[in-house]
Structure formats: C-alpha cells, structure tokens
A and B are shown apart, each in its own frame.
Chain A
Amino acid sequence: DGGITQSPKYLFRKEGQNVTLSCEQNLNHDAMYWYRQDPGQGLRLIYYSQIVNDFQKGDIAEGYSVSREKKESFPLTVTSAQKNPTAFYLCASSIAPGANEQYFGPGTRLTVT
C-alpha cells in the first residue's frame, strides 16, 4: 500500500535531549513537509523540502532541523533549543511543489518532561 509512515506514534523524552522523528513515503512524491499541531490551533509549517538535498524553513523553524538525503525520507530533529517541544507532529508529502494536495501521515505525539 502507498502512503506515509511516521514512527513512533508516541514518543517521550527528557528535557535537554534531542529527538528525531521519522517520516517515510512510498508515493514517489517530490515535496515533503513537517507541521506542528498544538491543542486548539491549526497546523503550523516547520520545514519543507521540494527535492532531495534541498529544504526550506517554514514559519516556526527555530529549534528544529531536517535532512533530505533520500526522496522517501524526511526526518525531523527536535533539538534542546526548542523551548516548547511537546506537540503533535505531522509529516506530509505532495506529488510536486505547487498547489497540489498534501497527503499526511498518522502523526507522532511528542511529550517532553
């Protein structure tokens, strides 16, 4: 089945630790995105990537880092510099950059204590 996988579904970390969230897609999509969702708020864009080895900051990139070494994979690292990392993180992809619909993974709920 084609789709986007994110693992793990739930993640717990201690404050001060970096943590990497996985996102893999087998849709052969060029563009990939990371969003953060907080209770009662819409999704906010963290980073996006149009092609391999390229990525751009979104609206709330501070404290996060990404890489795009393979077309299928777009991992997100939440660093200790992110002041409020507890949130629901959603990865998405679209067939190409542009106004194409984005398809989302199941999300990872990160809790930092």
Chain B
Amino acid sequence: AQKVTQAQTEISVVEKEDVTLDCVYETRDTTYYLFWYKQPPSGELVFLIRRNSFDEQNEISGRYSWNFQKSTSSFNFTITASQVVDSAVYFCALSDMTLVILTGTASKLTFGTGTRLQVTL
C-alpha cells in the first residue's frame, strides 16, 4: 500500500526566511511519480512539480527547489526567501505506476495530509 507522510502540520516563518517542507513516502513499486501541489486560501489545488522515480536530480524553479532522495524515500520542498503570497497548504502526493503500466488504468494519487505554511511580515 502507498502512504505519504507530511509530519509538519503547520509552519510559521517571517518573510524572506527559507523554509523546507518535508515529505516521506512508502511504496513497494519501483516505478512511481511524486507530486507537489499548493492550495491557497481560495481552495483550488495548483500543480507545482512532478518527478519520476528514476530521476533523482534536484530541481530548481525560481525560489522553489525540490530534493528527491530515494535512499530515504523523501521528496522535500524548499522555498527560498519566502513571501506572504507563499502562504498556503502544500500537499505531497504519490502515484504508483506498475498497475497503470500493466493494465492501462488511470493512476491514482495518494496525498499526504498537507503542511500549512504561514508567512508573515
């Protein structure tokens, strides 16, 4: 069974601080995808990144960066120089691919419980 753990329920930082959101996952599959989504107060989830299990290269997109480590089953997300607009709930999600590849069925996302980030002035 798949599981995604986001142990940090809430994080508060002051603007311009760096912050890292942790994500630990469990899966028996060797082929899988990991995702991060942002949920601002409006409620709509916004896609941030997708990473497959064969690509452990870290990724940077502006102030956002992601650290994928298969050895520790972690896919952590860092915001550099945080801003008030970064305040949101962030979700990590996992999609196993073995069943999808074998049967052609749609992949199902397993979400963590989310981390609420509050950035203040």
Contact = CB atoms under 8 A, between A and B. Distances in A.
Interface of A: 31, 33, 40-45, 48-50, 56, 58-59, 88, 90, 92, 94, 97-107, 109
- Of A33, A56, A99, most B-chain CB atoms within 10 Å: A99
Contacts, number: 71
A99 B91 contact: no
Contact of B95 (A42, A56, A99): A99
Contact of B106 (A41, A56, A59): A56
A44 to B, nearest CB: 8
A42 B106 contact: no
A107 B43 contact: yes
Contact of B112 (A42, A45, A103): A42
Interface string B95-108: 10100100011111
B108 A45 contact: yes
Contacts of B44: 90, 104-107
Interface residues of B, number: 30
A88 B41 CA distance: 13
B19 interface: no
Contacts of A98: 97, 100, 106-107
A40 B93 CA distance: 15
A97 B106 contact: yes
Nearest to A44: B111
B93 to A, nearest CB: 8
Interface string B35-49: 101000011111100
A101 B93 CA distance: 11
